[in-house]
Structure 1
Amino acid sequence: MGAEKRLIEDLQWAGLHWDEGPGVGRSNQSYRQSERNDIYRKHAQGLLATGAAYRCFCTPQASGQGKAAHVTSGCYQDCSSLSQEHSLSKVNDKQQASTIRLKRAIDVKDRIYPDLVHGKIKPLKRKFTDVASEDGEAGIDAADTVLMKSDGTPTYHFANVVDDHLMEITHVIRGAEWMASTPLHYDLYSAFGWQPPHFAHVGLLLDQNKAKLSKRNGNLALDVRSMREQHGVLPETLVNFLALLGWSNPWRNDVYDLDGLAKNFDLKFTKGNSIVNLDKLWYLQKQHVAQKSQRAKQTGDLEPIHPLVDAIANEVRERWPALSNSDRFEDDEELWKFCSDVLLADSKSYQNAKHFVDGHRYLFAYNEEEVPIMPDVLEVKGGGELRKVEKRALQLIAQEVLQHDIKTLGSLSFQPVVIKVLLESLDARDRDSIDYADIPDSPEMIEDGHFIALCKSLVPGIEKRLTESEFQGLALDKRAYQAAFTKYLRNQLSYGLSGPSIGSVMALLGYEECSRRLGVTS
């Protein structure tokens, strides 16, 4: 019962809803195979009545010696020739136990077993030892397959066909390992006079080494509960990922929610096995989180990202317990709001809460030991050429920017990112007004006029009127300084880690924290 409950919970978590089954459909009917024996017996009796099946009283017999030894578990006494009255009397007299076997149809050799993926399925050729046993698993394509065991319970194949028919299943999509069973299933539908469903057999799932996929792949447990609870995989991510395995997706887009899959999915599968690439899982995870975050930005409603922010906030509190009652955050609510801002600023890097918090740890706490040591002179490209920029110059630019009063800063000839961030409230306590989408990823920091003046103050001897070649050289230097300054800010503010634009980082950290990390005193 525990496994059954977990399976139902996993399907419901994934957003999958069935038309008939536990909790849906016929309330007075059980869907557990062990509680449906009366149904299977009734249908087996129906096959006996039409002559499509017969009772068999044979018991397994051992014969041969050494390597030639084998067990004959099929019908070796020609029980199918017994009249129904004779068979029934043997059962009623309890002379011996019996099974119920499917009688081989006369036209079975002429039958076609279609498959939506593979075209036609050929029945396996029988060997001497392929006689169907009472468990119904050996020789599943063989004639005289056991349908009901001697204890009155059905074999899997018989129960499978009866259940699918009663629940009006139209398509059976399953792994290629079940192809060998398909001729038997078709024969059972024919014996009952039922219309068979469409069958589609998809390839097996293999790991990167082309071995059968195990329950654990690297550090990732592949059961649903572990993926959602330990690794933070979203339901839409997992459904999207699984739907793409083996599917010949005709569209360029691979990112679908359940509604999108329902509209676009078809039964065009590849015939071969599928390699499970978990990098694709995390790619889809990031795309789904980005879509949720985009909806939250557009509508102002944080409901789509609420569970994600909860997970981030919980991870932050676990890592820095005192943070929600500190100088930066007065309470959990303020910390939660900050976590939502961080997610909206860099949603495309979200894999799971633990991974996200670790990659953005510089926004929650500052460890000076993690700041990479920069060389005194940086070599960066300016207009395709390598230019040298002194770290001292970058420190002076940072000082120039952050020491000016915010109200008068707009009169200077600096351009977008730093100025925009400062003017629209660099203060981390009032970041609601910041539109992250408007902050450029590559800052155009300084206009030519002010840049030249700044260069004159940094490079002794530049007081004369500039020649055209000197001006062009300074223009190249300007590009180099822009690239170097962005690199310097990211190095000092965020340990040089990739993440949101440097303008967003500054907006999230706030004016005072930026000044502290850059060593600028007011």
Structure 2
Amino acid sequence: MEGSVRVRFAPSPTGLLHIGGLRTALYNYLFAKGHEDGVFVLRIEDTDQTRYVEGAEEDIINSLVWTGMDFDEGPGKPGGVGPYRQSERKDIYEEYAEQLVEQGQAYYAFDTPEELNDMRERLKKSGNPSPKYDAITRMSMKNSLTLPQEEVDRMLKDGDDYVIRLKVPRRETIRFEDEIRGFVSFESKGLDDQVLLKSDGMPTYHLANVVDDHLMGITHVIRGEEWLSSAPKHILMYEYFNWEPPRMAHLPLIMSPSGGKLSKRKAESEGIPINTRDYIDQKFEPEALVNFLAYLGWSPGDDSEVHTMDELVDLFSLDRVSKGGAVFDYKKLIWYNEHYLRDKPAEKLWPRVREIAGEHGLEPDEEYMKQIIELMKDRVSKIEDFVTMGRFFFDDPEEYEEKAVKKWKDNSGELLQAYVDKIDELDEEDFEAKTLKNKIKEVIKAHDVGFGPLMMPLRVAVSGMGYGPDLTPTIELLGKETTIRRIHRAIEKLG
């Protein structure tokens, strides 16, 4: 394990994988794969059993696989430093918590929830707005620092409830170098005596995190900015255990377009899908999401915007990650999605489109559908659009889009009838886009109008919409009989 880069993505299975979590995973993955022999570890931090959600771990793994981030070690992929679920490592943490107690750097605390509450209320009344269990208050509480040793031994023997707390020094400056932010320093007087081992014998995030990162040989901890305030406690523990801490990098927050952190509530109000599962369900291109997330807080330092996962691996470095928050621009994500759809041949898109068509009760012919895909590629934002926006390739429009109908003028019916008369004379082999366009030119010349007065009603008549793929190739694909039938119907309905 010596010398090689080892990173970990360590989510809690407390719900579906958040888009911010996916970006953290991506930066870890890109960093690991950018180094020879780099290892990407997945660790499931499930020590908080009260918040455990059934199926969440599966969702995390599916999300990583869908985006092309296969982990090297993790649940189901042993690598010699497992198990990779913290709930299966419980005994390990107890041993290390006890070690800190023996060294005098942690202690047993027997306070009941009521006693903790009283302490907070008391301090609030005396003018302390954010009371905490720390170097000052610990001396008036019920713990192994204030109780006689024989009483502590008796309480432990009797099985009284206790937690183990970290003994944070009263006046110390804790400094470390962050790979993104440079040197960061914290005053220990601002920290509380963090609980390391809970009364149910489970570790808190802080203890489990430090112990696991050390035992799993993690060289770089790349995580969200929200963990920056916990870093000094972790640095203290590394010091107490006499271990070399990993390099740390705290990623910028993902911001909402309206300002502030992109919370679940804000995302919902702004129409931004918040969980990776939403992007899978909405059939986004995984490459688009990866490319977009990579640029959400990082850039390669030039104007390039489109890169495959392999290219991102080559380009990525922590020194190019920004310190400031990155705004989630949903329009940009759609732009990426459109790009990756256009980039894929109809051959590759066809199986997925066929499946979506099936969900909409259609059974398209393969050749016909591939022609539709080629025709619509420049117009779609998501793969479903081939079927939803392209529905008129299968069924005559039942109704006409309101906005488009407003452009239907008094002479629209007359112009369309003139066009029908022209194309009615064509044989099947002459019914092709180029000829169809020439016939449009003949009609507008004879009636002395521009393209608009004929093109718009024609589009509405054949598709029911005021937008869509190139018109004359569309008419060619629909065929003569269908086109004429639809025009007649529109004239009848719209006058």
Contact residue 309 and residue 340 of structure 1 kept, 8 A? no
Query: Alignment partner of 1:236: what SS?
Result: helix
Task: Quote the offset at 1:210 in angstroms.
Answer: 1.6
Aligned position for 1:43 = 96
- What CA distance in whole angstroms lies between the structure 2 residues aligned with 1:72 and 1:310? 57
Letter in 2 for 1:310: E
Note if 1:403 corresponds to 2:448: no
Task: Quote the offset at 1:154 in angstroms.
Answer: 1.9
- What CA distance in whole angstroms lies between the structure 1 residues aligned with 2:382 and 2:73? 34
CA pair 72-275 structure 1, distance change in 2 beyond 3 A: closer
Matches within 5 A, 1:45-84: 45-47=98-100, 51=103, 53-56=105-108, 59=111, 62=118, 64=122, 67-68=125-126, 73-74=133-134, 75-76=138-139
CA pair 149-333 structure 1, distance change in 2 beyond 3 A: closer
Note if 1:494 corresponds to 2:477: no
Contact residue 207 and residue 275 of structure 1 kept, 8 A? yes
Aligned position for 2:352 = 307
Aligned position for 1:181 = 230
CA pair 81-353 structure 1, distance change in 2 beyond 3 A: closer
Match for residue 203 of structure 1 among 224, 240, 252? 252
Query: Alignment partner of 2:352: what SS?
Result: helix
Query: Alignment partner of 2:139: what SS?
Result: coil
Note if 1:116 corresponds to 2:165: no
Aligned position for 1:16 = 69
Aligned position for 2:334 = 282
CA pair 486-36 structure 1, distance change in 2 beyond 3 A: same
Match for residue 366 of structure 1 among 396, 402, 408? 396
Give 5+ residue unaligned stretches, structure 2.
1-53, 490-495
Query: Alignment partner of 2:207: what SS?
Result: helix
Note if 1:511 corresponds to 2:483: no
- What CA distance in whole angstroms lies between the structure 2 residues aligned with 1:81 and 1:369? 79
Task: Quote the offset at 1:73 in angstroms.
Answer: 3.8
- What CA distance in whole angstroms lies between the structure 1 residues aligned with 2:231 and 2:81? 31
Give CA deviations for 1:161-185 in whole Å, capped at 9, x if unaligned. Answer: 1112222323322222211111222
- What CA distance in whole angstroms lies between the structure 2 residues aligned with 1:207 and 1:368? 40
Matches within 5 A, 1:219-234: 219=271, 221-229=273-281, 231-234=282-285
Letter in 2 for 1:403: E
Note if 1:147 corresponds to 2:227: no
Note if 1:347 corresponds to 2:363: no
Contact residue 107 and residue 145 of structure 2 kept, 8 A? no
Query: Alignment partner of 2:472: what SS?
Result: helix
Give 5+ residue unaligned stretches, structure 1.
137-145, 297-301, 318-323, 325-331, 379-390, 411-415, 423-442, 460-476
- What CA distance in whole angstroms lies between the structure 1 residues aligned with 2:471 and 2:144? 82
Note if 1:418 corresponds to 2:434: yes
Aligned position for 2:18 = none
Provide the alpha-carbon RMSD of the alignment.
Answer: 4.2
Contact residue 254 and residue 327 of structure 2 kept, 8 A? yes
Task: Quote the offset at 1:10 in angstroms.
Answer: 2.6
Contact residue 220 and residue 248 of structure 2 kept, 8 A? yes
- What CA distance in whole angstroms lies between the structure 1 residues aligned with 2:340 and 2:425? 41
Contact residue 456 and residue 466 of structure 2 kept, 8 A? no
Query: Alignment partner of 1:260: what SS?
Result: helix
Aligned position for 2:216 = 167
Task: Quote the offset at 1:108 in angstroms.
Answer: 5.0
- What CA distance in whole angstroms lies between the structure 2 residues aligned with 1:339 and 1:181? 55
- What CA distance in whole angstroms lies between the structure 1 residues aligned with 2:59 and 2:398? 46
Aligned position for 1:437 = none
Letter in 2 for 1:366: D
Contact residue 54 and residue 80 of structure 1 kept, 8 A? no
CA pair 107-52 structure 1, distance change in 2 beyond 3 A: farther
Letter in 2 for 1:13: W
Contact residue 285 and residue 350 of structure 1 kept, 8 A? no
Contact residue 419 and residue 439 of structure 2 kept, 8 A? no
- What CA distance in whole angstroms lies between the structure 2 residues aligned with 1:488 and 1:14? 43
Give CA deviations for 1:127-186 in whole Å, capped at 9, x if unaligned. Answer: 5xx542xxx2xxxxxxxxx43345533221110111122223233222222111112222
CA pair 519-288 structure 1, distance change in 2 beyond 3 A: same
Contact residue 20 and residue 167 of structure 1 kept, 8 A? no
CA pair 150-503 structure 1, distance change in 2 beyond 3 A: same
Task: Quote the offset at 1:16 in angstroms.
Answer: 2.0
CA pair 305-113 structure 1, distance change in 2 beyond 3 A: farther
Query: Alignment partner of 2:202: what SS?
Result: coil
Contact residue 58 and residue 77 of structure 1 kept, 8 A? no
Contact residue 165 and residue 196 of structure 2 kept, 8 A? yes
Q: What count of residue pairs does the alignment treat as equivalent? A: 414
Match for residue 304 of structure 2 among 253, 266, 284? 253
CA pair 92-271 structure 1, distance change in 2 beyond 3 A: closer
Aligned position for 1:157 = 206
- What CA distance in whole angstroms lies between the structure 1 residues aligned with 2:99 and 2:151? 15
Which structure carries more relative contact order (alpha carbon 8 Å, separation 6+)? 2
Match for residue 214 of structure 1 among 263, 274, 282? 263
Aligned position for 1:321 = none
Query: Alignment partner of 1:225: what SS?
Result: helix
Contact residue 196 and residue 204 of structure 2 kept, 8 A? yes
Task: Quote the offset at 1:507 in angstroms.
Answer: 2.8
CA pair 377-155 structure 1, distance change in 2 beyond 3 A: same
- What CA distance in whole angstroms lies between the structure 2 residues aligned with 1:26 and 1:244? 31
CA pair 401-498 structure 1, distance change in 2 beyond 3 A: same
CA pair 235-52 structure 1, distance change in 2 beyond 3 A: farther
Task: Quote the offset at 1:338 in angstroms.
Answer: 3.1
- What CA distance in whole angstroms lies between the structure 2 residues aligned with 1:16 and 1:166? 23
Name the TM-score, length of structure 2 as normaliser: 0.69
Letter in 1 for 2:372: V
CA pair 207-77 structure 1, distance change in 2 beyond 3 A: closer
Letter in 1 for 2:61: I
Give CA deviations for 1:236-286 in whole Å, capped at 9, x if unaligned. Answer: 233333222222343433333433332333322222222222222222222
Report which of the two structures shows the higher radius of gyration computed on alpha carbons.
1
Task: Quote the offset at 1:499 in angstroms.
Answer: 2.2
CA pair 131-184 structure 1, distance change in 2 beyond 3 A: closer
Aligned position for 1:429 = none
Task: Quote the offset at 1:86 in angstroms.
Answer: 8.9
Task: Quote the offset at 1:233 in angstroms.
Answer: 2.3
Query: Alignment partner of 1:349: what SS?
Result: coil
CA pair 206-501 structure 1, distance change in 2 beyond 3 A: same
- What CA distance in whole angstroms lies between the structure 2 residues aligned with 1:263 and 1:395? 60
CA pair 189-402 structure 1, distance change in 2 beyond 3 A: farther
